[in-house]
């Protein structure tokens, strides 16, 4: 990107090559004219030798004057051409930069994924400063650095190059583009490494680009330090720094935008999955409960047609059972409808929304409720709040459907660096290891275990026939959806 020094044109070369011949001819003519003038006028008798020397003196003086004029004209012409060439070089350079920035913006705008952005970013060092090879490094979880892309060097060569430039171990990222000189032997004739930092507007480092150079001729550099210390970095000029910072800013914004889009897509996918799971749960509850009971009642109605004339007294007992079954199915539908009510986490907060939901559910079931939510941190990740709400909801639903309990206790607390949800009832209980569980129970417990495992947690069921049931769920507090859902480089 450095302007090239223009070569002399034909006009400058002609002026320089003809300076002495023209000066000589003019001087000789001037001397001859002087001699003729002296001889013709002859109003003072002089020594012929003196007159000849005088004529030669004035001729030489004229020749020197002509030579000086022609030299000055050649010098001015060359300066004009240099200035014009420099202006054209700067104009071409500016146009090239504008075209590059325009292309960069277009590629960023048209890139749908983070991979598209990174694939394009790794090609920029070769175009910006003729890099022999390049590597793109991004910060991952817990400050770890990960090589997202590499071009022009294999794994061993990249490791050797980083070791030579002091990049193999902990590296403090410079605030601006910097050229490093090697501290040891480098592969593939590399003589310098340009570090282009990628940082957000709040100076939070995102990563950097390493451009490995075989020459620095393509870079516009400031006057280097007089010291010959090989560790001292070379200084980029203000114009080169400004261009590289602009490119780095565009890349940083594009990478962050791609990451945000990926997280948004992952969030949408997670929401769709949650909706699907909830629909599956509701469909399972209705199928295993209301649908089967209504199908059974329909079969009983077919028998009533025969009993109407043969055994009318039996129908009286059947109607009593029908009334009880209908009341039970109405309660089941009410539980399903209650479960479909929107959660009020955003309006009331986690604790208040859960307390309201559990209180209303217990009142509907005529339970004695014991609720303990006092030992909770204030910075629970949103995904854990939602998960805890769902586990509590599922535990209460199971108690209402199967336990026939009169007393239910719900406790949510912190334990061993995690969040523990405990739902305990005094119902009929069951044997968790038995094969003959009621329809739908095994499927529900399996989905609860799968949901807990997806959050790096665990689920435990404690129950015995006649001694109630206790559901325990433990979820790690370190889990955060923003760090795990849709995280890419």
Query: What pLDDT digit, counting tens, does each position of 74-107 carry?
Result: 777 778 878 887 777 777 767 776 777 777 778 7
pLDDT tens-digit map of 367-393: 898 988 877 877 788 778 888 888 888
Residue 265 confidence (pLDDT) above 60: yes
Segment 355-362 mean pLDDT: 85
- Reduce the DSSP state of residue 412 to 3 states and report it: strand
∠ Cα 430 434 435 (to 5°): 125
Residues 114, 237: contact at Cβ < 8 Å? no
Q: With bands split at pLDDT 50, 70 and 90, how would you rate the model's confidence at 409? A: very high
Instruction: Say how many C-beta atoms besides its own lie within 10 A of residue 357's C-beta.
Output: 21
| pLDDT for the residue numbered 226 | 39
Structure-model confidence comparison of residues 87 and 194, the more confident one? 194
Structure-model confidence comparison of residues 240 and 163, the more confident one? 163
pTM equals 0.49
Q: With bands split at pLDDT 50, 70 and 90, how would you rate the model's confidence at 10? A: low
| Pairing verdict, β 469-476 and 418-425 | antiparallel
pLDDT tens-digit map of 102-153: 777 787 777 778 888 888 889 888 888 888 999 999 987 667 788 889 999 9
Residue 453 confidence (pLDDT) above 70: yes
Q: Which two tokens mark 411?
A: 């406790």
CATH superfamily of 112-262: GAF domain (3.30.450.40)
- Reduce the DSSP state of residue 435 to 3 states and report it: coil
Instruction: Say how many C-beta atoms besides its own lie within 10 A of residue 423's C-beta.
Output: 25
Q: Name the one residue in this structure whose structure tokens are 């450095």.
A: 2
Residues 6 or more apart in contact with residue 113 via CB below 8 angstroms: 258, 262
Residues 373, 412: contact at Cβ < 8 Å? yes
Residue 220 confidence (pLDDT) above 70: no
| pLDDT for the residue numbered 347 | 62
Residues 213, 190: contact at Cβ < 8 Å? yes
Mean pLDDT of the chain: 76
pLDDT tens-digit map of 240-263: 788 888 888 888 888 888 888 877
Residues 6 or more apart in contact with residue 349 via CB below 8 angstroms: none
Segment 198-222 mean pLDDT: 79
Query: Virtual CA dihedral for 120, 198, 144, 112, nearest 10 degrees?
Result: -40
| Pairing verdict, β 145-151 and 133-139 | antiparallel
Q: With bands split at pLDDT 50, 70 and 90, how would you rate the model's confidence at 41? A: low
Structure-model confidence comparison of residues 49 and 102, the more confident one? 102
Q: What is the CB-side half-sphere exposure of residue 48 using CA atoms within 13 A?
A: 3
Show me where the domains of the chain are located.
10-108, 112-262, 344-489
Domain 112-262 identical in fold to domain 344-489: no
Segment 177-200 mean pLDDT: 88
CATH level 2 (architecture), domain 344-489: 2-Layer Sandwich (3.30)
| DSSP code, position 367 | -
Q: Which two tokens mark 362?
A: 């217990």
Say how far apart CA 485 and CA 264 lie, in whole Å: 9
């Amino acid at each position: 990107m450095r302007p090239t020094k223009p070569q002399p044109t034909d006009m400058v070369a002609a002026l320089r090559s003809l300076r002495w011949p023209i000066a000589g001819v003019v001087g000789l003519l001037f001397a001859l004219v002087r001699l003729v003038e002296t001889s013709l006028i002859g109003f003072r008798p002089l020594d012929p030798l003196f007159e000849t020397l005088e004529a030669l003196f004035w001729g030489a003086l004229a020749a020197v004057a002509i030579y000086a004029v022609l030299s000055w004209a050649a010098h001015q012409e060359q300066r004009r051409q240099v200035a014009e060439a420099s202006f054209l070089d700067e104009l071409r350079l500016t146009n090239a930069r504008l075209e590059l920035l325009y292309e960069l913006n277009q590629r960023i705008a048209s890139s749908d994924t983070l991979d598209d952005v990174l694939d394009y970013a790794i090609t920029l060092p070769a175009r910006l400063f003729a890099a022999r090879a390049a590597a793109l490094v991004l910060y991952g979880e817990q400050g770890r650095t990960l090589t997202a892309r590499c071009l022009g060097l294999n794994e061993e060569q990249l490791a050797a190059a980083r070791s030579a430039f002091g990049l193999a171990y902990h590296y403090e990222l410079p605030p601006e583009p910097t050229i490093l000189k090697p501290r040891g032997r480098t592969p593939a004739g590399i003589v310098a490494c340009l570090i282009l930092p990628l940082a957000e507007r709040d100076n939070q480092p995102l990563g950097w680009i390493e451009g490995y150079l075989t020459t620095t001729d393509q870079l516009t550099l400031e006057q280097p330090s007089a010291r010959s210390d090989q560790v001292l970095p070379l200084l980029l000029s203000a114009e080169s720094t400004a261009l590289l910072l602009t490119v780095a800013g565009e890349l940083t914004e594009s990478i962050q935008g791609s990451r945000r889009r990926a997280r948004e897509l992952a969030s949408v996918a997670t929401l769709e999955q949650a909706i699907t799971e909830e629909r599956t749960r509701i469909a399972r509850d209705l199928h295993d409960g209301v649908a089967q009971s209504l199908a059974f009642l329909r079969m009983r109605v077919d028998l009533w047609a025969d009993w109407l004339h043969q055994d009318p007294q039996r129908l009286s007992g059947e109607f009593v059972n029908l009334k009880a079954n209908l009341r039970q199915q109405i309660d089941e539908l009410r539980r399903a409808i209650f479960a479909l009510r929107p959660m009020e986490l955003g309006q009331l907060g986690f604790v208040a929304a859960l307390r309201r939901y559990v209180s209303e559910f217990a009142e509907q079931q005529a339970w004695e409720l014991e609720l303990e939510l006092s030992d909770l941190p204030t910075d629970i990740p949103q995904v854990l709040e939602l998960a805890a709400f769902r586990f509590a909801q599922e535990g209460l639903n199971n108690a209402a459907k199967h336990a026939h309990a009169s007393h239910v206790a719900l406790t949510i607390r912190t334990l061993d660096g995690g969040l523990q949800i405990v739902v305990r009832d005094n119902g009929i209980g069951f044997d968790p290891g038995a094969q003959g569980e009621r329809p739908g129970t095994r499927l529900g417990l399996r989905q609860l275990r799968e949901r807990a495992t997806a959050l790096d947690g665990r689920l435990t069921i404690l129950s015995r026939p006649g001694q109630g049931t206790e559901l325990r769920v433990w979820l790690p507090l370190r889990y955060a959806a923003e760090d795990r859902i849709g995280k890419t480089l």
